[in-house]
Structure 1
């Protein structure tokens, strides 16, 4: 293979590598298989107790504690009273996870001086009484119905606290609780006993409040597609990549022996 052919082949390889790198920068998902649903990076959230603690933060912490106080014994009953292996497994897993979440909650409350209850509230005690009086399939249905309804109520409350709290410890607790609740919803629904048609419907969407603040566009402007915002890291990455490839090509070109001989002849 001649030096020119060798260099041409290298140039094609470099060009292909550059194209692949551009693809990764522009659309990372196209360059790798989807690994699954990512877990939030909890370690990036500090847990120092810094920031003001609102009444909503205290109420949220109490509610997470209350959830564990009745769902742990409910899960224990599921293991003892249900004839369905799936229900027993769901009860065991949810109870075990609430033990972990309850410790996180008590640690956060101790750090922030939040007083926590030590027994379920009246409604929760009533649900536990229903389960104690039921057997077999009746127990299974009550267990799934009560836990699915409770998780459906606290799920949006967690989101509100996660996005609004000023305290880093509450923020981290809310993020962790969100992960637990999503898992529990999925476990409960895997029983195939959830009556989705009977679940509360979502409230109607509220009217947009930012429309009036937007500038009025002319008909000509409205017909034009909106310009995408500049992605500074992407542009910088492309610039560096292109500069590196250009430098490599230049060095290869000047290191070609045939070109050096032509340069030497030009001097004599």
Structure 2
């Protein structure tokens, strides 16, 4: 009888182990990703650190030019914000580069050096300098802000996520003080492409941009996953019930024989 009971228990354990879905392994992120204690570090996070460092290499000096060369107090104020903001971000991005083992540039790229040269060559105290200062910096900050939002939304690395959030706060502050100068040319759609969207007349029939088929994909996946889980649960319940009934049957079927043998 004990042998039968042991067989039933063993069979029940095997059935349960087969029926319970195994935990899926952590999906691979590919060779471009590295695992860190703060979460996976991918190309977007690395690119963000590089871009923030590059921004500081030219926007900090540009802020000093605005403070020293402009006669417009609003431009000077914007220059102070740029100096302070990028001093903070520079220190943090260098620290993160060391922590996450991301090489960072040590000088501005060719385009950025060209923008600094434009400001340097513009006459001090002139409206020409103020226009170059406001428009070059506003265009750069607008592009960086959108990029930061994408990284902040998609990254699984907590350090990158927190830093992206802080960068967005600083960049938005810079955008606001640059626009407050009154020198930003929003009709320059090459420098500030969002101006074309903002200036477009309202259409009588709304264009379906965001609410299309985007939610359908994850919803379908969720339904399929839910159905799969429900099916696994139902199978597990059925097999467990069969095992229990079988165990009870074997237990009760052995009892009469045991009673007869005891009487003999």
TM interval, short-chain normalised: 0.5 to 0.7
Deviation, structure 1 residue 53: 0.4
Q: Partner of 2:148 in structure 1?
A: 158
Q: Which of 127, 130, 133 in structure 1 is aligned with 2:118?
A: 130
- Mapped contact 1:141–1:193 kept (Cα < 8 A): yes
CA distance in 1, matches of 2:215, 2:74: 49
- CA–CA distance in structure 1, aligned partners of residues 178 and 75 of structure 2: 8
CA distance in 1, matches of 2:116, 2:95: 26
TM score, norm. by length of structure 2: 0.60
Q: Which moved more, 1:195-204 or 1:103-112?
A: 195-204
The farther-off stretch of 119-128 and 187-196 is 187-196
1:210 deviates by 3.9
1:50 and 2:43 equivalent?
Answer: no
Match of 1:167? 157
Match in the other structure for 1:209? 213
Aligned partners of 1:52 and 1:167 also within 8 Å: yes
1:141 is displaced (CA, Å) by 0.4
Q: Deviations over 1:144-175 (max 9, x none)?
A: 01000001101111011111111111111101
**Counterpart-to-counterpart distance in 2, 1:49 and 1:165:** 14
Q: Which structure has the bigger radius of gyration?
A: 2
- Mapped to 2, the partners of 1:211 and 1:125 lie a distance apart of 44
Partner of 2:41: helix, strand, or coil? coil
Deviation at 1:212, TM superposition (A): 5.2
Structure 2 residue 148 is the aligned partner of structure 1 residue 144: no
Listed as ranges, the gaps of 5+ residues in structure 1 are: 1-47, 216-268
Cα 1:168–1:211 shift into 2, 3 Å: closer
| Structure 2: gaps (5+ residues) | 1-35, 199-206, 221-264
Change in CA separation of 1:210 and 1:72 when aligned onto 2, cut-off 3 Å: closer
Cα distance, 1:181–1:211 mapped onto 2, change above 3 Å: closer
Count of aligned residue pairs for this structure pair: 168
Distance (Å, rounded) in 2 between the aligned partners of 1:165 and 1:97? 23
TM-score under structure 1 normalisation?
Answer: 0.59
Quickly say closer, same or farther: Cα 1:173–1:49, change in 2 above 3 A.
farther
